[in-house]
Amino acid sequence: MARFSLTVNGRTRVVDVEPDTPLLYVLRNELDLKGPRFGCGLAQCGACSVIVEGRAIRSCITPVNAVENGSVTTLEGLGSVAKPGTLQAAFIEEQAAQCGFCMNGMIMNAQVLLDSNPDPSDDEIKQALDPILCRCGSHLRVIRAIKRAAAANRATA
């Protein structure tokens, strides 16, 4: 076991785990954050996505020691049930989730896109979400939600 100090959602957290423990397990089991989900365990589906230093990464294959000096943002870091972030609110307003399992990956990848491109086209949104596996039929609502969030961000900028 080793002690790691992590910055998660703007807060310093200390955990005692093996250095090669997947970040996903640390977030869910040690820090009780349920936004990132276990999907495939092979970095293929994106359900476990988190943002580290402005990039969406797959936490199921990222060892905790790889992010010790980085800043990790999970779905919970974007907003809460009581006060959802702009992107989360847009997903709710557009009813963009069907089963909702992939939504963590969709939202985290969309946040990275909006952080770098405040007015993405439909094609840019589709490209940003391409790595996320999703079998539902809500893709058009997801695109509308991201465009809604982008417009809301621009209106408050």
Mean pLDDT value across residues 68-81: 95
Please choose, from the candidates 78, 45, 73, the residue with its C-alpha nearest in 3D space to the C-alpha of residue 60.
45
The residue whose two tokens read 């820090």 is 31
Whole-number pLDDT of residue 33: 98
Domain ranges of the chain: 2-77, 86-156
Whether this model's pTM surpasses 0.85: yes
pLDDT at 157 over 90: no
Which residue intervals of the chain are DSSP H helices? 23-25, 75-78, 86-93, 103-116, 122-129, 139-156
Whole-number pLDDT of residue 142: 95
pLDDT at 75 over 90: yes
Mean pLDDT value across residues 76-80: 97
Q: Do domains 2-77 and 86-156 have the same CATH topology?
A: no
pLDDT digits (tens, 9 = 90+) for 5-42: 999 999 999 999 999 999 999 999 999 999 999 999 99
Residues 95 and 16: their CA atoms lie apart, in Å, by 39
Whole-number pLDDT of residue 101: 85
- Please report, in angstroms and rounded to a whole number, the separation of the first and last CA atoms in the chain: 45
pLDDT at 138 over 90: no
pLDDT at 54 over 90: yes
Whole-number pLDDT of residue 21: 98
pLDDT digits (tens, 9 = 90+) for 91-129: 999 999 888 889 999 999 999 999 999 999 999 999 999
Q: Which CATH number fits domain 2-77: 3.40.50.2300, 3.30.470.10, 2.60.40.420, 3.10.20.30?
A: 3.10.20.30
Whole-number pLDDT of residue 7: 97
pLDDT at 134 over 90: no
Contact (Cβ atoms closer than 8 angstroms) between residue 71 and residue 57:
no
User: Domain 86-156, what fold?
Assistant: DNA polymerase; domain 1 (1.10.150)
Whole-number pLDDT of residue 68: 92
Mean pLDDT value across residues 76-103: 94
